[in-house]
A and B are shown apart, each in its own frame.
Chain A
Amino acid sequence: MDKKRREVLKAGGGMTLLMLLAAAGWLRPGDVRAADWNKAAFDTKTMDETMKALGGGTPVPSNDIAFFSTPDIAENGAVVPIGITSKVPKTESIAILVEKNPNMLAATFDIPAGTEPSLSTRIKMGQTSNVYALVKADGKYYVASKEIKVTLGGCGG
């Protein structure tokens, strides 16, 4: 799907229009996905690259972003619980980034007005790493980080 068309669709009401088009049979589900999945951002390997792909500048460290139900040590890297709450006013989205994963960006969550800027999910971590909670609020980016240690489990083989 070419970029211009994507931008036009986005400009013309974002997902609502896309969903209408999909419902009308104009788009296959794959097109909806392609339009709405930021491949460039998910391919990035550094914070700078990720920020560029997301269209933002350098994020500002913020004490208004907190991790909850997120352990310092994960017993298994295949499932690492991550909870993030943002108290930054006008939070629009929350993203989870893992510094030492093959690709840095794990997930982004757009938070519409009326939804609490607080969520929890589970991610994979290949090794001990810093995990970043990146918040977009009123067009600006803020960040908090936490180191999570990943341990080797069981009989190790």
Chain B
Amino acid sequence: MPATKFRRIVIGAVTVVAVAGALYGCAMSTMTSKDDAQLESRATAMLKSSFKAKGQVKLDRLDQDETQRLCSEYANQPLPPSVAERIQKANLATVRFPADGKLIGDWKSGEKIAQSGQGFQTSDDPSKPAGANCYACHQLAPDELAYGTIGPSLYQFGKLRGYTDEMRKYAWSKVYNAEAFNACSNMPRFGHRQILTEQQLKDVVALLMDPASPVNH
């Protein structure tokens, strides 16, 4: 899977560079990596001076971890395989399984979590549970027509892949930290960044992997 992603990134970057070149004439093509690093650091500094804390959101949200920094740096150019591997390895190490060994919670609660985009915004009440907003990017239960396409369809996720222990563990790990499998994935790291609680993670995994879940109808 990562190989496909790399190809896509490479193609995207080539397009962008070509267009940028057309806009600037030679300006871009002659930019050295030193210039680029300087631009990067100026942009980061400018960003940090342009926000203010509001509600539950403090300025430390702009402090990048290594994964974020690398994914930003390589967003507009091919992601070298060595960097991708570094990112995936580091994120894989963060995946934790529940102490009770149970990965499947309540799919009904999982559906609510998948529908909700609440949480961690300046406008959100931090005392209320956060959602995962899965439908923003993925198709899941067929009754919900308003689904996004940033991520692949997860309709019949468990049914197509089999309700195996191995697959349940994969689903858990993927929701927990998507960067473990796909460097610079667009998907938030719901477990690693503590966006969802352990129980919520179980409920979302149930939505994907419980044969009774409408996702698998």
CB of A157 within 8 A of CB of B146, answer no
| Total A-B Cβ pairs within 8 A | 27
Q: How far is the CB of A129 from chain B (nearest CB, A)?
A: 15
Contact A152 B119 (CB under 8 A): no
Which residues of chain B are within 8 angstroms of A16 by Cβ–Cβ distance? Answer: none
Residues of chain B contacted by A156 (CB below 8 angstroms) = 115-117, 131, 133, 135-136
Majority SS of interface residues in chain A?
loop
Interface residues of B in 115-131 (CB under 8 A from A): 115-119, 121, 123-124, 131
Interface size on B, residues (CB 8 A): 14
Q: A150 → chain B, closest Cβ, in Å?
A: 9
Could you tell me the distance between the alpha carbons of A153 and B118 in the complex, rounded to whole angstroms? 13
Q: Which residue among A151, A153, A155, A157 has the maximum number of chain B CB atoms within 10 Å of its CB?
A: A157
Judged by a CB distance under 8 angstroms, whether B93 is at the interface is: no
The B interface is mostly helix, strand or loop, or mixed, namely loop
Asked if A17 is at the interface of the complex by the 8 Å CB criterion, the answer is: no
B31 CB within 8 Å of chain A? no
- Taking a contact as CB atoms under 8 Å apart, the answer to whether A157 and B135 are in contact is no
Cβ–Cβ contact A153 & B146, under 8 A: yes
Is B145 in the interface zone, CB < 8 Å from A? yes
Q: In angstroms, how far is the closest chain B Cβ from the Cβ of A154? A: 8
Contact, CB under 8 Å: B115 / A157: no
Chain A contributes a number of interface residues (CB within 8 A of B) equal to 8
Residues of A within 8 A of B145 (CB): 73, 149, 151
CB distance from B187 to the nearest CB of A (A): 14
Q: Mark B48-65, 1 if CB is under 8 A from A, else 0.
A: 000000000000000000
CB proximity to B under 8 Å, residues A138-157: 149, 151-153, 155-157
Which B residues lie within 8 Å of A157 (CB)?
116-119, 121, 123-124, 131, 133
Given A157-B116, A157-B131, is A152 in contact with B121 using a C-beta cutoff of 8 Å? no
A interface footprint on B100-126 (CB within 8 Å = 1, 0 otherwise)? 000000000000000111110101100
Which A positions have Cβ atoms within 8 angstroms of B?
73, 149, 151-153, 155-157
What would be 7 A-B contacts, judged by CB atoms less than 8 Å apart? A73-B145, A152-B146, A155-B133, A156-B115, A157-B116, A157-B117, A157-B123
A-B contacts besides A156-B115, A156-B136, 13 pairs, CB < 8 Å = A151-B146, A152-B115, A152-B146, A153-B146, A155-B117, A155-B133, A155-B136, A156-B133, A157-B117, A157-B118, A157-B121, A157-B123, A157-B124
